[in-house]
C-alpha cells in the first residue's frame, strides 16, 4: 500500500507511519513538493504559494501511485480520483470536512474518509475559556491601566454561577461543557437529538433540542457556538435569535462564520446588546480589511487558528497509525473517526 503525505509533516511522524509495517507500506514523502509551513501544524501553506511546472509534474506522478492519502491535497484543480485513481482512503487533518470532500468529488464514492474529529476539542475549549475569562476578569481594562501605570482597585465578574449555553454538543462542545462545569457554571446544551436522556449522557444541567434554541439563548450569560456547518445550522443565529439573547451576553464562535448572521451580530456588538465576542470564524476568511470587527473594542479576532496546537500532528499521527493497522488488516468498519458523508461531519 502506498501512502502519500499530502500536507506538511514532521519527519518523526512520517517515520512512525513507515514503522507500522515496513513490508506492506511504502510512504511517499517529498517535503520539497509540499507548501512551506507558516506555523507548527500548518496544513495548507500560504495562499500565494504554488509549485513550479516541474514540481507539479513530480507531485502528480507521486499522487497517481497513492492508495492512501495523509490529508486532502490543498489547491488541487482536478477531482481527486483523477489525480489518485487508486485512492481507497483519505485521512484529513481537520474535522468538519464535508464541504472539502464534496469539492474533491469524494462524497458519492466508496473512498473511506477518516477525520481528525476530537483532536481539536482540547485547544478549542481552552480558547473558549481564554476568551470568557479575558472578558469576565476584565483583562483589557487591566491592560489599559497598566499602560497608564494606574493602580486602580476594581471588581470583576466570575464564571462561577453564570449560565453557559453550548450550541452543538459534539466532541468540542462536550469538552467546553465539562470545563464549564468545573468552573461552577450552569450548562445548557442545544443539539439535534430529541432524546431527553442527552442531559445525563452529556453531563449538563439542561438539554434542549433545536426547537428550544431561542428560549435557551435567552437564559445564557455566555454562548458558545461549536456546531458543525450543515444546511440546518447555516444562518441558525439570525436577527431574531440575537434579539432573544440577554443584554450583556458574551459570545464565542468556534463553529463557522455562516452559522450566525454577521451583520446582525455586528449591530448587537455596537449597541452592547452582545457585550463581548471572541470569533475564530467569519463569513469571509481571511476577514476583509474593511470589516468593522477588527476595530471593535469588545471583539477578539482569532484568524481561524484557535484549534491549532503544537501537539496537533502528533495526535493526527496517532489516529492515522491506528487506522492504518486496521486498514491493512481489512478491518475497515473499525476505522474511526469516520466522516459521515451524508451529514458532512
Residue closer to a second copy (CB basis): 182 or 243:
182
C-alpha 65/C-alpha 83 separation (Å) is: 9
Show which residues are catalytic. Answer: 256, 285, 304
C-alpha 231/C-alpha 102 separation (Å) is: 14
Among 184, 247, 248, 272, binds a second copy (CB under 8 A): 184
Cα-based angle 339, 238, 290 (whole degrees, multiple of 5): 90
Question: Looking up cell 506492506, which residue turns up?
Answer: 24
Contacting a second copy within 118-177 (CB under 8 A): 122-123, 126-127, 129-130, 133-134, 136-137, 139, 142-143, 145-146, 149, 151-161
Q: Closest approach of Cβ 97 to a second copy, in Å?
A: 17
Q: At what angle do helices 312-328 and 11-18 cross, to 10 degrees?
A: 20
Decide: is 285 part of the binding site for a second copy (CB under 8 A). Answer: yes
Decide: is 13 part of the binding site for a second copy (CB under 8 A). Answer: no
Contact 226, 254 (CB under 8 A): yes
Decide: is 270 part of the binding site for a second copy (CB under 8 A). Answer: no
DSSP string, 232-279: TTTT-B-HHHHHHSPTTEEEEE-S-GGGB-HHHHHHHHHHTSEEEEEE
Among 36, 272, 286, 336, binds a second copy (CB under 8 A): 286
Q: Closest approach of Cβ 292 to a second copy, in Å?
A: 11
Q: How many Cβ atoms sit within 10 Å of the Cβ of residue 124? A: 24
Residue closer to a second copy (CB basis): 152 or 200:
152
C-alpha 27/C-alpha 82 separation (Å) is: 20
Which residues, in sequence order, are bridge partners of residue 209? 191
Among 1, 258, 266, 301, binds a second copy (CB under 8 A): 301
Contacting a second copy within 23-62 (CB under 8 A): 38-42
**Interface contacts to a second copy, rule CB under 8 A:** 38-42, 122-123, 126-127, 129-130, 133-134, 136-137, 139, 142-143, 145-146, 149, 151-161, 178-179, 182-184, 285-287, 289, 294-295, 299-306, 308-312
Amino acid at each position: 500500500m502506498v501512502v502519500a503525505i499530502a500536507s506538511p509533516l514532521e519527519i518523526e511522524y512520517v517515520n512512525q507511519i513507515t514503522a507500522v509495517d515496513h513490508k506492506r507500506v511504502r510512504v511517499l514523502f517529498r517535503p520539497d513538493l509540499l507548501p512551506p509551513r507558516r506555523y507548527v501544524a500548518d496544513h495548507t501553506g500560504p495562499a500565494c504559494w504554488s509549485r513550479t511546472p516541474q514540481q507539479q509534474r513530480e507531485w502528480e506522478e507521486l499522487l497517481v501511485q497513492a492508495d492512501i492519502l495523509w490529508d486532502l491535497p490543498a489547491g488541487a484543480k482536478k477531482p481527486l480520483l483523477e489525480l489518485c485513481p487508486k485512492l481507497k482512503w483519505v485521512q484529513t487533518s481537520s474535522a468538519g470536512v464535508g464541504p472539502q470532500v464534496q469539492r474533491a468529488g469524494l462524497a458519492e464514492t466508496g473512498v473511506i474518509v477518516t477525520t481528525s474529529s476530537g483532536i481539536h476539542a482540547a485547544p478549542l475549549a481552552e480558547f473558549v475559556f481564554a476568551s470568557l475569562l479575558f472578558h469576565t476578569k476584565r483583562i483589557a481594562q487591566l491592560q489599559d491601566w497598566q499602560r497608564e501605570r494606574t493602580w486602580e482597585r476594581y471588581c470583576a465578574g466570575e464564571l462561577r454561577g453564570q449560565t453557559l449555553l453550548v450550541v452543538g454538543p459534539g466532541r468540542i462542545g462536550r469538552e467546553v461543557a465539562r470545563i464549564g462545569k468545573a468552573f461552577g457554571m450552569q450548562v445548557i446544551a442545544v443539539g439535534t437529538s430529541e432524546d431527553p436522556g442527552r442531559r445525563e449522557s452529556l453531563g449538563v444541567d439542561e438539554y434542549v433540542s433545536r426547537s428550544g434554541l431561542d428560549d435557551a439563548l435567552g437564559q445564557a450569560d455566555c454562548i458558545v457556538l461549536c456546531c458543525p456547518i450543515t444546511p440546518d445550522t447555516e444562518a441558525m443565529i439570525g436577527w431574531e435569535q440575537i434579539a432573544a439573547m440577554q443584554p450583556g451576553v458574551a459570545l464565542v464562535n468556534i463553529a463557522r462564520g455562516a452559522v450566525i448572521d454577521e451583520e446582525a451580530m455586528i449591530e448587537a456588538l455596537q449597541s452592547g446588546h452582545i457585550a463581548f465576542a471572541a470569533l475564530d470564524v467569519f463569513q469571509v476568511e481571511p476577514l476583509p480589511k474593511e470589516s468593522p470587527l477588527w476595530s471593535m473594542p469588545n471583539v477578539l479576532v482569532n484568524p481561524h487558528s484557535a484549534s491549532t496546537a503544537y501537539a496537533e500532528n502528533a495526535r493526527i499521527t496517532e489516529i492515522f497509525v491506528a487506522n492504518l493497522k486496521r486498514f491493512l488488516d481489512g478491518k475497515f468498519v473499525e476505522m474511526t473517526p469516520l466522516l459521515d458523508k451524508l451529514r458532512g461531519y
